[in-house]
Structure 1
Amino acid sequence: MSRVCAWILLLVFRLRVVPRGCVLKFRSHGRRRVDFSLEVGRRCPCEAVRRSSGRPEGVASISVGVRRFSRRGTSCNFLSFGKMGQKKDLTGSEKSKIVRYLAEGSSTLKIAKLLKRDHRTIKRFIQNSQQGRKKRVEKPRRKITAHELRKVKRAAATMPLATSLAIFQSCNITGVPKSTRCAILRDMAKVRKAERRPPLNKTHKLKRQDWANKYLKTDFSKVLWTDEMRVSLDGPDGWARGWIGKGQRAPVRLRRQQGGGGVLVWAGIIKDELVGPFRVEDGVKLNSQSYCQFLEDTFFKQWYRKKSASFKKNMIFMQDNAPSHASKYSTAWLARKGIKEGNLMTWPPCSPDLNPIENLWSIIKCEIYKEGKQYTSLNSVWEAVVAAARNVDGEQIKTLTESMDGRLLSVLAKKGGYIGHGFLFVLFLNVRNVYL
């Protein structure tokens, strides 16, 4: 009951009226604190009191005491409202008195009563006599205005690769520290790496559209997608990042010329099957003659000769427009091997995003260079490539080869524009029937 009365008293201060049957008593402790007590009961006289304001001017805090009289006794409840004022620190004389009272064997509560101080202040001084009251930390003021914030947002959109200093200088905003600039930009943007892609002019885009229209009705489950990949001992520097605990040193990463050397790998995918990977001998530069000899020793001997005549007749061989691939010597040599013009896919220029095996290379590189791993020899990195290729199952390869229908439709929708490496398309069974 006393708690309910106390909350009623808080409303009384808002309304500045004390109801009948209650007595409001006032006790002042200077300009720092004012106490009010409300007595509720049958024996209390009826009195109405009006106040001009809920709290006297200059008073830092108000404490409210509610007393309830009953046959069982008296119950009290105290609440406080208003802005609590911060008392002064203990003076030198008060500190010396505390030390003297402690030497006499007085308790903290008794010392607090003698000094008219809060007992928590006395305990805090006893626990750490050198440390005073913690100063209140004020919130820093806003470094830029709302109008300047909108200018920064527009500048960041038009200058995505500029530094924070350049963005703020373009908005004529000076005097803002780097930490604040970065914090403001992090709220509106995200640090990302620029995409790398080959240049596409109008001629390239037209050839990409013609290629998509030409092979739109093709059964891509019969296409062998081939390409080369070079892997180095060190791998990409950007992948050597991670969470390093405070106080711990960052792990050492070796820096070697040209990544410590590397291995050239050739592979192909068809339907849900991986062909290879095959390793190009160290020190061999792939020209037309060496490329054809490499295919003869690896691809034709280990895989192509084992296939049936009907499979060879229907298979379409895909390779990009590298000089060693598209030369007259290589084209004539493949024709003698049975891969003639009808079974050799033409390829548009600057189009690695249309080759699904590029996504396979990404999967393998993520596996062999995970956790920033580096290698000490060419044989070790080659063994890692073979192990990663064995972990790629047929469903992953099938997803890549079946994405070609979506890639072609995307090229046509973008009028020959770039569609990106990381875009894996979802194949619907009747997606081509809509456009045929």
Structure 2
Amino acid sequence: MPRGPPLTDLEKGQILALHHQLMSLRDISKELGRSVGAVQRFLKNPSLTARSQAHVTGQKLTVREEKAIIRKATTGNYSARDIKQDLNLPVGVRRIQKILSATPHLKYRKMKTAPMMTSLHREKRVRSVRRFISKGDFFWNKVILSDEKKFNLDGPDENACYWHDLRKNERFFSKKQNGGATVMVWGAISPYGVSPLVFLNGNQNSGKYCETLDKALLPFAAEMYGEMENWVYQQDGASIHRSRFTRSWLNEKGVRTMDWPAKSPDLNIIENIWGIMARRVYLRQRQFDTIEQLKEVIEDVWAIISGELLQKLYRSIPRRMLAVLDGQGRATKY
């Protein structure tokens, strides 16, 4: 029988990667739809056809070097440029990227963000989640969740990228909680609707925060739930949220609050709302010239958050709690 077409660069990279995973010749053949003979000939002497894979300088990589590239990438700590420099390779960055792209268990991903957590943070998260679970799933229908969100004129903050080994857990990028803001908003949600959106001007203190709650939270809660005893307010542990002034104001107004664990954005579904809003606000890489333009679009996007989306997110809360327990308090996929 005549031989099939020559192996492509992509197929060669895939063969090397699968062989590195100790896959048999027959299994590699089935996976790629190429003959066992073609796979075997290539693995016997990959350097014979390496010129077509090498950089324009004519240099070529050995099988050992390609395996070293893949090993570096699977740690998640190296970019293609870092690998080239660290291993002192004679080929370009693009060649290394092709090898990594052809490796079945590697995928280039944006690193998810999560706050830095100590063992004490993780322990507190586990204790809090156990307490929340004991209240039952229906409890969350009474909870008003709140948060602040920053929007930039020139687009959303970007996440770090890395080569993700699909056989391992995803990595998280640790970010600072308080960065410089362009436009800061406060919002709250219930399973039944969204609160008025409040744009926060200047540095915030306890007095300003309570003014926001007075003009936005209390009317919203009254509309959604009626009597004060029918709802509970969630807020994070920012200093102005837990100050003596704020605690006194909340107590005076009869607002019941939750003891929310620190470093837990993955438990607060309003974070998902902010993510959806950011994608819509900056649709097609849109940027803004003025604060007024940005505010107008933010308000429009907030106004069309659907009840169906809110209810779906609220139904996910019990699963989030279980994920925290399963991960012993560590950051979850949420």
| TM-score of the pair, normalised by structure 2 | 0.70
User: Residue 323 of structure 1: CA displacement?
Assistant: 0.7
Matched, 1:322 2:322: no
User: Residue 358 of structure 1: CA displacement?
Assistant: 0.5
The residue type paired with residue 151 of structure 2 is V
Per the alignment, residue 210 of structure 1 pairs with: 127
User: Residue 149 of structure 1: CA displacement?
Assistant: 1.9
Cα deviations by residue, 1:362-417 (Å, 9 ceiling, x for unpaired): 11111010111112222221111111112221010111111110011111111111
Per the alignment, residue 164 of structure 2 pairs with: none
Is contact 1:233–1:262 with CA below 8 Å preserved after alignment? yes
Is contact 2:69–2:96 with CA below 8 Å preserved after alignment? no
Q: Would the alpha carbon gap of residues 156 and 303 (structure 1) be closer, same or farther in structure 2, given more than 3 Å must change?
A: closer
1:224 aligns with one of 134, 144, 157: 144
Per the alignment, residue 370 of structure 1 pairs with: 283
User: Residue 298 of structure 1: CA displacement?
Assistant: 2.7
Where relative contact order (Cα < 8 A, 6+ residues apart) is larger, the structure is 2
User: Residue 272 of structure 1: CA displacement?
Assistant: 3.0
Partner SS state of residue 276, structure 1: coil
CA distance in 1, matches of 2:328, 2:62: 43
Cα deviations by residue, 1:230-279 (Å, 9 ceiling, x for unpaired): 2122122659xxxxxxxxxxxxxxxxxxx997322111111131112222
Residues 392-403 of structure 1 mapped to structure 2, 5 A cutoff: 392-403=305-316
CA distance in 1, matches of 2:100, 2:224: 58
2:251 aligns with one of 335, 345, 350: 335
Partner SS state of residue 344, structure 1: coil
User: Residue 305 of structure 1: CA displacement?
Assistant: 4.2
Matched, 1:198 2:198: no
More helix as a share of residues: 2
CA distance in 1, matches of 2:91, 2:143: 58
CA distance in 2, matches of 1:229, 1:165: 34
CA distance in 1, matches of 2:303, 2:330: 34
Per the alignment, residue 417 of structure 1 pairs with: 330
CA distance in 1, matches of 2:282, 2:330: 31
Partner SS state of residue 348, structure 1: coil
2:99 aligns with one of 155, 160, 184: 184
1:140 aligns with one of 52, 70, 88: 52
2:78 aligns with one of 162, 173, 177: 162
| TM-score of the pair, normalised by structure 1 | 0.54
User: Residue 313 of structure 1: CA displacement?
Assistant: 0.5
CA distance in 2, matches of 1:353, 1:400: 12
Structure 1 gap ranges (5+): 1-137, 240-258, 424-436
CA distance in 2, matches of 1:235, 1:177: 32
The residue type paired with residue 365 of structure 1 is A
Q: Would the alpha carbon gap of residues 163 and 416 (structure 1) be closer, same or farther in structure 2, given more than 3 Å must change?
A: closer
Residues 32-43 of structure 1 mapped to structure 2, 5 A cutoff: none
Cα deviations by residue, 1:276-299 (Å, 9 ceiling, x for unpaired): 22222x33x211111112221232
CA distance in 2, matches of 1:412, 1:260: 33
The residue type paired with residue 52 of structure 2 is P
Per the alignment, residue 188 of structure 2 pairs with: 268
Partner SS state of residue 387, structure 1: helix
Residues 20-169 of structure 1 mapped to structure 2, 5 A cutoff: 140=52, 143-158=60-75, 160-168=76-84
2:318 aligns with one of 384, 405, 408: 405
CA distance in 2, matches of 1:231, 1:288: 22
User: Residue 214 of structure 1: CA displacement?
Assistant: 0.6
Q: Would the alpha carbon gap of residues 236 and 384 (structure 1) be closer, same or farther in structure 2, given more than 3 Å must change?
A: same
User: Residue 335 of structure 1: CA displacement?
Assistant: 0.8
Q: Would the alpha carbon gap of residues 400 and 184 (structure 1) be closer, same or farther in structure 2, given more than 3 Å must change?
A: same
Identity %: 29
Is contact 1:277–1:389 with CA below 8 Å preserved after alignment? yes
CA distance in 2, matches of 1:238, 1:169: 25
Q: Would the alpha carbon gap of residues 168 and 178 (structure 1) be closer, same or farther in structure 2, given more than 3 Å must change?
A: closer
Is contact 2:198–2:212 with CA below 8 Å preserved after alignment? no
CA distance in 2, matches of 1:375, 1:144: 47
Q: Which has the higher mean CA deviation after the structures are superposed, 184-193 or 379-388?
A: 184-193
Per the alignment, residue 388 of structure 1 pairs with: 301
Partner SS state of residue 96, structure 2: helix
Q: Would the alpha carbon gap of residues 237 and 356 (structure 1) be closer, same or farther in structure 2, given more than 3 Å must change?
A: closer
CA distance in 2, matches of 1:183, 1:380: 42
Is contact 2:147–2:236 with CA below 8 Å preserved after alignment? yes
The residue type paired with residue 230 of structure 2 is N
Q: Would the alpha carbon gap of residues 141 and 318 (structure 1) be closer, same or farther in structure 2, given more than 3 Å must change?
A: closer
Cα deviations by residue, 1:170-196 (Å, 9 ceiling, x for unpaired): 44x532233322322222233323332
Superposition RMSD in Å: 2.5
Is contact 2:210–2:249 with CA below 8 Å preserved after alignment? yes
1:293 aligns with one of 186, 201, 211: 211
Q: Which one has the largest radius of gyration?
A: 1
CA distance in 2, matches of 1:261, 1:355: 21
Is contact 1:231–1:262 with CA below 8 Å preserved after alignment? yes
Partner SS state of residue 317, structure 1: strand
Q: Would the alpha carbon gap of residues 405 and 374 (structure 1) be closer, same or farther in structure 2, given more than 3 Å must change?
A: same
The residue type paired with residue 157 of structure 1 is T
Moved over 6 A (4+): none
Per the alignment, residue 70 of structure 1 pairs with: none
